[in-house]
A and B are shown apart, each in its own frame.
Chain A
């Protein structure tokens, strides 16, 4: 009964390629997030969607485009991959109701750009 799932778990690709990471949650949450964890373990917010609407867009290159087909899914598409995109990408979801503002994270997608 995975709460937040991500696919793929590992992604190795060449510079310049386009790739997508998928995220799904079965918690009934309204809000989903993408975070990036760099090689020094630092975690930073990238995007957030609430009920399919983009509500947070940090200073992320426009090569990164999130897409939310419904509130249970938030995918991340990355164009023209660069070496610096190598990181672990975590999806998270939150909040079935007010007062329950805990974000639950997926297992992460380890992206390596060669």
Chain B
């Protein structure tokens, strides 16, 4: 069964702290993609990253980094030196080739960064 679990419902940190958002997925497909999207208070869904199932290389983009581990079916997202503008709901999602890449979303993690 396809499933994405984001166990952290809400996280609150003080500005400049590092924070990691967890994502665990379940799939029977061998070809799939994992995504992170950001939903700020304004409501739009902003694409952050895509990783395919054959590429376990970790990625860093500025203050953002992602750790993909197939062995534990996890795709975690770390924000270094968090800022107030990082406050948003973050969604992890799974797209499977056999399902026409429809996205299965996790329930989201609300991140609040306090000044």
Instruction: Spell out A's residues near B (CB within 8 Å).
Output: 31, 33, 35, 40-45, 48, 50, 55-56, 88, 90, 92, 94-95, 101-105, 107-108, 110
Question: Does B64 reach chain A (CB closer than 8 Å)?
Answer: no
A88-B43, A107-B44, A108-B43 given as contacts; is B89 within 8 A of A41 (CB)? yes
B44 with A105: CB separation less than 8 A: yes
**Across the interface, which residues of A come within 8 angstroms of B101, CB to CB?**
31, 94-95, 101, 103
By the criterion CB–CB under 8 Å, are A104 and B47 in contact? yes
Known pairs A101-B101, A105-B37, A108-B45 / 5 extra A-B pairs, C-beta < 8 Å: A40-B107, A41-B108, A42-B105, A92-B103, A95-B101
Contacts of B91 in A (CB 8 A): 43
Contact of A56 among B50, B89, B102, B108 (CB under 8 A): B102
Q: Can you name 12 A-B pairs with beta carbons within 8 Å?
A: A31-B100, A31-B101, A41-B39, A41-B107, A42-B108, A43-B93, A45-B102, A56-B99, A92-B45, A103-B35, A103-B47, A108-B43
Q: Contact check, A33 vs B95: say whether CB atoms are below 8 A apart.
A: no
How many angstroms from the CA of A45 to the CA of B107 in the assembled complex? 13
User: Interface residue tally of chain B, by bracket?
Assistant: 20 to 34
Whether B107 lies near A42 (C-beta < 8 A) is yes
A101–B97 alpha-carbon span in the complex (Å): 9
With the chains together, A103 CA to B49 CA distance in Å?
A: 11
**Cβ A101 vs Cβ B105 within 8 A:** no
Q: Is the CB of B43 within 8 A of A33?
A: no
- Scan residues 83-103 of chain B and give those whose CB is less than 8 A from a CB of chain A: 89, 91, 93, 95, 99-103
Residues of chain B lying within 8 A (CB to CB) of residue A101: 33, 50, 52, 95, 101
